[in-house]
A and B are shown apart, each in its own frame.
Chain A
Amino acid sequence: GDSVTQMEGPVTLSEEAFLTINCTYTATGYPSLFWYVQYPGEGLQLLLKATKADDKGSNKGFEATYRKETTSFHLEKGSVQVSDSAVYFCALRSYSGGGADGLTFGKGTHLIIQP
């Protein structure tokens, strides 16, 4: 079945540091890939997505590139801020599986940015 593996947290960085949160996946077919973010006390929000190989999703300074050859979708940001502190979820949607609803999530990575 489909699965998403992302680095476990918490990840603690200083403000303005470079961020990478690794995400790899296994899936049948050609999945779409997503990053969701959950800020403290709020619901999940879609951060960015990519729908085919070599696509780059970007939003709020975050980027992730769909790498089919390495089955990865790593999240990056060049200079993090305290306000980026949140839990980040990598997810995929596969047309040929991936759970009962075709959407499979990783376990989430808690990011803590210190001033």
Chain B
Amino acid sequence: GAGVSQSPSNKVTEKGKDVELRCDPISGHTALYWYRQSLGQGLEFLIYFQGNSAPDKSGLPSDRFSAERTGGSVSTLTIQRTQQEDSAVYLCASSSHRDRGNINEKLFFGSGTQLSVL
């Protein structure tokens, strides 16, 4: 597709279950970000992938959160043993820029996955 695609768009799960969120970045984009948007909060950085380099995981809030990016394209964010405070919109963004934080970097965002933990 032309844009960043995320699935599912909505996910309702029970506390303690594991969930997987998927992100398909724009073809050819080497950089991929995951963000979390909790109710009433700003966007919170989670993790950053750039090509085949080791990801920057410094934003992950706990060891229940992990993410992979296979083949430098599709990424999966996994949350294990979900808690109610994990309820949020999880946004994925991609960029063609190889220099993170460069003034000219433009991020393209997906529509997000609304996660509700009951």
B65 at interface (Cβ–Cβ under 8 A)?
no
A99: chain B residues at CB < 8 Å are 45, 59
- B45 engages A44 (CB within 8 Å): no
CA distance A107 to B48 in the complex (A): 21
B48 and A100 form a contact (CB under 8 A): yes
- Cβ–Cβ contact B110 & A43, under 8 A: yes
B71 within 8 A of A: no
State whether A95 touches B101 (Cβ < 8 A).
Answer: yes
Distance of A97 from chain B, by nearest CB (Å): 10
A74 to chain B, nearest CB (A): 17
* C-alpha gap A108/B33 in the complex (Å): 19
Q: Which residues of A contact B28 (CB under 8 A)?
A: none
Write the nearest CB–CB distance from A108 to chain B, whole angstroms.
7
Contact of A43 among B45, B100, B105, B112 (CB under 8 A): B112
Residues A41-96 near B (CB distance < 8 A): 41-46, 51, 89, 91, 93, 95
- Shortest A90–chain B CB gap in Å is 9
Interface size on B, as a range, is 20 to 34
> Cα distance A43–B110 when bound, in Å?
5
Contact of B93 among A32, A38, A44, A89 (CB under 8 A): A44
Does the CB pair B100–A46 fall under 8 Å?
no
Closest residue of B by beta carbon distance from A108:
B42
B45 near A89: Cβ-Cβ < 8 Å? no
Across the interface, which residues of A come within 8 angstroms of B4, CB to CB? 43
Contact, CB under 8 Å: B111 / A101:
no
Asked if B91 lies at the interface with its beta carbon under 8 angstroms from chain A, I say yes
Smallest beta-carbon distance A102→chain B, Å: 4
22 contacts between A and B (CB under 8 A): A4-B42, A38-B109, A42-B111, A43-B108, A43-B109, A44-B107, A45-B109, A46-B107, A89-B43, A93-B101, A95-B101, A99-B45, A99-B59, A100-B45, A100-B58, A101-B59, A101-B101, A102-B100, A103-B45, A105-B43, A107-B42, A108-B42
